[in-house]
A and B are shown apart, each in its own frame.
Chain A
Amino acid sequence: MNTLILVLVILALATLSYVVGTRRSTGLVDNKPKDLHSLPGYYGLYVAMWCGVPALALLALWTAFEPTIVKHMVLASLPAQALLDPAGGPLSDQRISLMMTDIANTASGNISSGASQSYISEAAVYQRSLTDTGYWLMAAVAVALGLGLASLAYRRISPKLRARNDVESGVKYFMIACSTVAILTTIGIILSLLFESYRFFTQVPVTDFLFGLSWSPQTAMRADQVGSSGAFGAIPLFVGTGLIATIALVVAVPIGLLSAIYMSEYAAPKFRAFAKPALEILAGIPTVVYGFFAALTVAPAIRGFGETIGLDVSSESALAAGLVMGIMIIPFVSSLSDDVITAVPQAMREGSYGLGATKSETIRKVVFPAALPGIVGGILLAASRAIGETMIVVMAAGLAANLTANPFAAVTTVTVQIVTLLVGDQEFDSPKTLAAFALGLVLFFITLLLNVIALRVVRKYREQYD
């Protein structure tokens, strides 16, 4: 909250610099702005830019890195015996991070379990003093930087200064920085996934992960417990994900494709104007709503139906999750197919009618083959959506990793496991937590691959008729 005040102070200083800079520029030419190179406002912006931008950048960097530095300094200040366990060996990382949390809690005035120990409270006082000095130091440096650069810029103001060009190139650099956010995000995703996965693969071999047939990530607390090793074979998860996504596509592809054909070839404009947005509502409903619908209504209905015909259906069956997910991706299939079907040149249809074909024969034998690559692209995009979908399966699919292709059984998926591994208490170095990142890496690459193929297929098709 204090940082917010500091940001506001700097913004106020920047506004002040704007006013001062504008005044100075008009003052230099005796209120005859036509003698200036740029409009007076640009001189104000020039000074304001030098005042605000570097100071704000400094604030951002400082707040991003201060906690880490403070943590190291506090750790270094602790007495040596605090870092040893009772047996005399060095303390494990988890214990250290627990201790740091205690110190932080004591420092912020909360009750913490370790407050009784004197070195904890001493460290807390030290941490408090560090953050306090840090804050005032940051405030002083940022304000000094802003004022210093502003006064330099102020002095440079002269009728010949090309203020507009400087301001405009500043804005341009800002825009370039904004558009690189996309690249930085991708790099961030890849690096964080790769780094954590690498740590996972140092503990569990890659081949065990990719080809193992058994998944039970619960590692025991004590070494002598049953199942203490944990098994990280991800094949059951891949199969479960594939099963649910296949069911979803079996539902969505026929419905989506047939509705797209009907809407683009048969429907009266009025019906189309109503049905198309109505179908698109399906894409706008939050997935958590679908998850609730699947768990509350669809799964019990399927289970009840299975019982009446004598089938043993799990209450977390893959069928329920897949069915609801299928409903969700109908609009992806239908709107993309609609686009490509409409893009098929009218001349091809007319040629077919001229030969005496009926409308449905034209659609099946001429329009559909011509639109096929685009439709395949759309289906691939829908498949990637189904694979990455999380909430429906978290709420409606199971947790047990069964290696089965039976749609009535409970299976689990990659996304469900990521959520279960990371929600709740976590220790950051255990393979259990790191496994989530390895799963995320697999998920990222599979969906990326599907998207790249889909976009390529669609683009190739478009070139043919454009």
Chain B
Amino acid sequence: MTSNNTDLVRAGLARRYRAEKRFRLYGLGAILVALAMLLTLFVTIFGSGLGAFTATEMTLEVTLFPQDVDPEGNRDPDVLSAANYRKLISQAMLDLFPDVTTRQDRRALLAIVSDGATYEARRRVMADPSLIGQRIDITVPVSSDFDLLNKGKVDETSAEHERRITDKQIAWFKRLQDRGMISTTFNKRLFTNSDSRQPELAGILGAVVGSMYTLLITLALSFPIGVAAAVYLEEYAPQNWFTDMIEVNINNLAAVPSIVFGLLGLAVFLNVFGMPRSAPVVGGLVLTLMTLPTIIIASRAALKSVPPSIREAALGVGASKLQMIVHHVLPLAMPGMLTGTIIGMAQALGETAPLLMIGMVAFIADVPGGPLAPSTVMPVQIYLWADSAERAFVERTSAAIMILLAFLVFMNAGAVVLRKKFERKW
């Protein structure tokens, strides 16, 4: 009988070991699948975003005719600013292609140059009015369709009606290339411009500044409030229903969907208190409420890790409770609290949904002038660009995502370094 059982077990062993191996492979497979998805995400975004860091530019010889720029010759800045530079740019373009005669073709030809060319010409003249009357070289961006063509992202073999640019335009562009007028440079505009309807002129600066204002307000409010609340709950609070209620509320708020905070901001801050729409102040307030639970929970953990002997020693030499906390416990708990705060800030930086609710989705073409000025933030800018129909915005969206991820990596790396440097085992 016993030998029978042993035989039975032996007979099953190979099968059981196979099952063991299989199970192990499932586990490894699951991790690899998850990592592969992470990799796919990064590869897709980096692959489509790298292109946006270079821009195609064209060097155009423009004659600044005095009768167009400054007919009265008194260099009045208002007149210089209002002059018709578009006409000069168009003239320069048409001079390059004397064979283009029909009205339709002329318009198609002019589409190669971006609207940014007129701003560039104006900037040059405003900076140095003595250029008027001269023939100068202006480096101007080409419009986004030709930027894509130059980067090889337009399929020239496809049927003409499937492309946004015609065969003729491609031929003209090739001629410009042959004359050496087209160059590829680093895309400064991505970092120095704000949002624009023209992809080749759109930049992230306004959104970065908006994010900065919003985060500053969030930090200024949530750090002191979070630390004070954590100190109270950890060091002072008596065991009673009120304390219980605060703790339950903090835990629940940590799990409330972020969009609900947006609804709160809309109903309370905008409609009851009449605060301005789209302003970083309101965004900062909403994000403060959202990040507070994270900061409070992290700060409490940091306070808990300070050993009681420190507190007892301080009290023993005659410190009051507040002196004990401020002079001894807080400095020891500070690295942990800061780590939690940075992680909360990183969350706030990537948050989009509640900001949509309070109207931070407007098209803002200027760098916001202050925390009360209408502005947008980086994730919302990404959302807006992702929604745009222009194909060239795809690579700009990816580039903006790369910039946002760079900020996040930087913040999280800071948190890790902080934790490593000040981590203390008691």
Contacts and interface: CB of A to CB of B under 8 A. Distances in A.
Interface of A: 1, 64, 67-68, 71, 164, 168, 171-172, 174-176, 178-183, 185-186, 188-189, 192-193, 195-196, 254-259, 261-263, 265-266, 275, 278-279, 281-282, 284-293, 295-297, 327, 330, 334, 356, 358-361, 363-364, 381, 384-385, 387-391, 394-395, 415, 418-419, 422-423, 428, 436-437, 440, 443-444, 447-448, 451-452, 455
Given A180-B246, A289-B45, A296-B48, A440 B273 contact: no
Contact of B386 (A67, A178, A292, A387): A292
Given A179-B228, A192-B268, A279-B34, 15 more contacts: A175-B236, A178-B224, A182-B249, A186-B252, A281-B38, A288-B352, A289-B404, A291-B383, A295-B386, A296-B44, A327-B34, A360-B24, A387-B257, A436-B263, A447-B256
Interface string B45-77: 100100000000000000000000000000000
Given A189-B264, A192-B263, A360-B24, A428 B253 contact: no
A259 B253 contact: no
Interface residues on B, range: 35 or more
16 contacts: A175-B231, A178-B224, A178-B229, A179-B229, A186-B252, A193-B260, A275-B35, A278-B38, A279-B34, A284-B346, A288-B350, A288-B382, A289-B401, A296-B386, A390-B352, A422-B357
Nearest to B289: A185
Contacts of B351: 286
Judged by DSSP, the binding face of B is helix
Given A189-B264, A279-B34, A288-B350, A178 B27 contact: no
Interface in B200-248: 224-226, 228-229, 231-233, 236-237, 245-246
Nearest to A360: B23
Contacts of A295: 386
A440 B259 contact: yes
> Which of B16, B38, B252 has most A Cβ within 10 Å?
B252
B27 A185 contact: no
Nearest to A274: B35
A183 B249 contact: yes
Contacts of B263: 189, 192-193, 418, 422, 436-437, 440
Given A415-B257, A440-B259, A185 B264 contact: yes
B350 A183 contact: no
Interface string B370-397: 1010000001101100110000001001
B20 A358 contact: yes
B318 to A, nearest CB: 12
Contacts of A289: 41, 45, 350, 382, 401, 404-405
Interface string B243-282: 0011001111101111111011011100101100000000
Contact of A293 (B44, B226, B237, B405): B44
A183 B289 CA distance: 11
A361 B13 CA distance: 12
A182 B289 CA distance: 8
Contact of B30 (A262, A288, A361): A262
Contacts of B224: 178
A352 B325 CA distance: 49
Nearest to A275: B31
Interface in B63-102: none
Contacts of B48: 296
Nearest to A436: B263
B259 A419 contact: yes
B292 A182 contact: yes
B245 A183 contact: yes
B232 A440 contact: no
A182 B31 contact: no
A388 B257 contact: yes
Interface string B3-31: 00000010000001101100110111111
A50 B254 CA distance: 35
Contacts of A364: 23
A284 B225 CA distance: 24
B251 A455 contact: yes
B150 to A, nearest CB: 22
Given A179-B233, A296-B48, A287 B352 contact: yes
A290 B257 CA distance: 17
A282 B228 contact: no
Contacts of B359: 423
B117 interface: no
Contacts of A394: 353, 383
A175 B232 contact: yes
A84 to B, nearest CB: 25
